[in-house]
């Protein structure tokens, strides 16, 4: 049987990695809005320094992807996601299945000008909510897990979770992605998966900053454990169950991003601790670090809902208000302790 190609939107590092993974199981149609990057892929068959899998074809338009693929993986940063999905929307029908890979949130307000008191939580949307809002697609899913793009490109083993309220979407996602070096789990808890994927960003940033100070693995383990607890509380305030936070996309992803200098969020934190200016770091990075947006949105959420979240609040001060990292660590160490693993009772 001739297989329909699977669509991928966005050839950023994660989009490219996922396209290469999908290509191992069949044809892939990849769309990238940046014409230079597309041209480079076309002529050199290279993406982000890696070889483009021979099964990958390049699409000229979103329309072409919609016409040829029923299963589509958008891999577009959260700040550009809405405009992409609006452009895409006219070509999409309810027979399309969309599984997004974006670990970010969208806000219907300007996050730099918003007042935490007056925002409405319903104006903060996960990418799946955005897809449902802006298109006629109903079968929506999300993937998240310990999936550092560079390691995936290097063909190293990894695992991920596909989440959707539709078992069918989970099955389609697993069939398209799984391979001998990529293990794919499934869950119906899409909100949990999306939120854990997002919230881990700022914990990774904090982890990078700790390393920048030269702290060791004990400190990192403490950070990861309490960071996860805090993620569970924030997720809870947004209506998510704790379950997914304890799974592959939660603790799994957290360990990977908090330990690896290959993670962008980690890198940003590391360089801040080393005394670099945020603007300079972002400029030299070239790609989006979702952690910075997550921090801003997360701060609005915790201020609005009254979740304690000491780690988020202090890291926010470090990144945006110039609090020295050493000072931040002192504050965190002084923060009163709770019972151990108390979040399990939530």
Partner 1 sequence: MSGREYKPSEYPLPYVTEDLRQWPIYKLTEHKEDFVSEVKQRVKDKLKARFGSDKTLREELAKVLYQERIRLTEKPWKADPKDERQFWSSMKSKLIQLEQLETTSPINEEQLLDEIIDRYANEIVGEFDLGAFSFARAILPQFFGRILAAAPGKWFKTIAGNVRTIHEKIPLTGDIEKIRHLSSKGTVIVVPTHFSNMDSIMVGWLLNEMGLPAFLYGAGLNLFSIGLLSYFMSRLGAYKVDRRKKNTVYLETLKMYSTVAIQRGAHSIFFPGGTRSRSGHLEKKLKLGLLGTALETQKLHYKNFPEETAPKIYVVPCIINYHFVLEAESLINDYLKETGKERFYKENDEYSTSFKLIRFMLKFFSASSSLSVSFGEVMDVLGNEVDDEGNSYNHLGQKINVKNYFITNGELKDDEQRDAEYTKILGERIVSNYYRYNVVLTSHLVCFTMFELIRKKYKGYDLFTLLRTPVEDVSLPYAEVVNAVSEVKEKLKEMQEQCEVLISPELRWNIDKIIEHGMKNINLYHTASPLTKNGDYMGSEDLKLLYYYHNRLDGYGLEKLFNK
Active-site positions?
200
Per the CB < 8 A criterion, the answer to whether 93 and 72 are in contact is no
Specify the residue, 63 or 151, whose C-beta has the smaller distance to partner 1.
63
Residue 90 Cβ, how far from partner 1 at the closest point, in Å? 7
Specify the residue, 3 or 113, whose C-beta has the smaller distance to partner 1.
3
Q: Which residues bind partner 1 (CB under 8 A)?
A: 4, 70-71, 89-90, 93-95, 97, 134-136, 138-139, 165-168, 172
Per the CB < 8 A criterion, the answer to whether 88 and 62 are in contact is yes
Residues 6 or more apart from 330 whose CB is under 8 A from it? none
Name residue 79's beta-bridge partners: none
Residue 3 Cβ, how far from partner 1 at the closest point, in Å? 9
- The rounded distance, in Å, linking the Cα atoms of 111 and 124 is 10
Q: Please report, for residues 79, 99, 110, 195, the alpha-carbon distance to residue 102 in angstroms, rounded to integers and kept in the order given.
A: 10, 9, 19, 11
Specify the residue, 78 or 135, whose C-beta has the smaller distance to partner 1.
135
Residue 58 Cβ, how far from partner 1 at the closest point, in Å? 22
- Provide Rg for the chain, Cα atoms: 20
CA diameter of the chain: 63
- The rounded distance, in Å, linking the Cα atoms of 103 and 118 is 25
- The rounded distance, in Å, linking the Cα atoms of 176 and 98 is 12
Q: According to DSSP H, which parts of the chain are helical?
A: 13-23, 35-44, 62-68, 78-88, 127-134, 149-153, 167-177, 190-212, 217-237, 253-259, 264-273, 278-285, 290-305, 310-321, 325-334
Residue 93 Cβ, how far from partner 1 at the closest point, in Å? 5
Specify the residue, 133 or 338, whose C-beta has the smaller distance to partner 1.
133
Specify the residue, 69 or 254, whose C-beta has the smaller distance to partner 1.
69
Residue 165 Cβ, how far from partner 1 at the closest point, in Å? 6
Per the CB < 8 A criterion, the answer to whether 142 and 125 are in contact is no
Residue 215 Cβ, how far from partner 1 at the closest point, in Å? 47
Q: Please report, for residues 160, 165, 174, 230, the alpha-carbon distance to residue 225 in angstroms, rounded to integers and kept in the order given.
A: 20, 29, 29, 9
Going by the DSSP 8-state scheme, the letter that residue 179 receives in this structure is: B
Q: How many CB atoms lie within 10 A of CB 307?
A: 18
């Amino acid at each position: 049987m001739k297989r329909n190609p699977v669509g991928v939107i966005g050839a950023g590092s994660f989009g490219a990695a996922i396209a290469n993974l999908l290509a191992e199981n069949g044809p892939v149609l990849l769309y990238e809005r940046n014409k230079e990057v597309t041209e480079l892929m076309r002529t050199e068959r290279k993406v982000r320094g890696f070889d483009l899998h021979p099964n990958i074809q390049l699409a000229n338009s979103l329309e072409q992807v919609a016409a040829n693929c029923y299963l589509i993986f958008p891999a577009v940063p959260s700040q550009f996601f809405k405009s992409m999905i609006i452009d895409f929307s006219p070509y999409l029908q309810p027979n399309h299945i969309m599984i997004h890979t974006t670990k970010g949130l969208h806000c219907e307000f300007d996050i730099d000008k918003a007042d935490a008191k007056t925002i409405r939580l319903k104006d903060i949307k996960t990418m799946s909510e955005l897809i449902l809002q802006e298109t006629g697609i109903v079968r929506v899913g999300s993937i998240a897990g310990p999936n550092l793009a560079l390691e995936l490109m290097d063909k190293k083993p990894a695992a991920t979770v596909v989440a959707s309220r539709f078992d069918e979407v989970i099955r389609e996602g697993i069939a398209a992605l799984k391979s001998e070096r990529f293990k794919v789990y499934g869950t119906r808890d899409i909100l949990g998966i999306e939120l854990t994927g997002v919230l881990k960003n700022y914990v990774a940033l904090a982890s990078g900053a700790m390393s920048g100070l030269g702290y060791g693995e004990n400190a990192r383990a403490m950070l990861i454990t309490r960071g996860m607890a805090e993620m569970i509380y924030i997720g809870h305030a947004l209506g998510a169950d704790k379950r997914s936070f304890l799974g592959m996309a939660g603790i799994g992803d957290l360990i990977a991003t908090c330990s690896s200098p290959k993670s962008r969020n980690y890198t940003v934190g590391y360089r801040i601790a080393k005394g670099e200016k945020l603007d300079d770091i972002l400029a030299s990075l070239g790609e989006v670090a979702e952690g910075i947006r997550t921090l801003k949105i997360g701060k609005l959420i915790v201020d609005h809902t009254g979740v304690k979240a000491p780690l988020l609040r202090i890291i926010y001060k470090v990144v945006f208000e110039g609090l020295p990292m050493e000072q931040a660590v002192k504050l965190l160490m002084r923060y009163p302790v709770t019972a151990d693993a108390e979040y399990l009772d939530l």
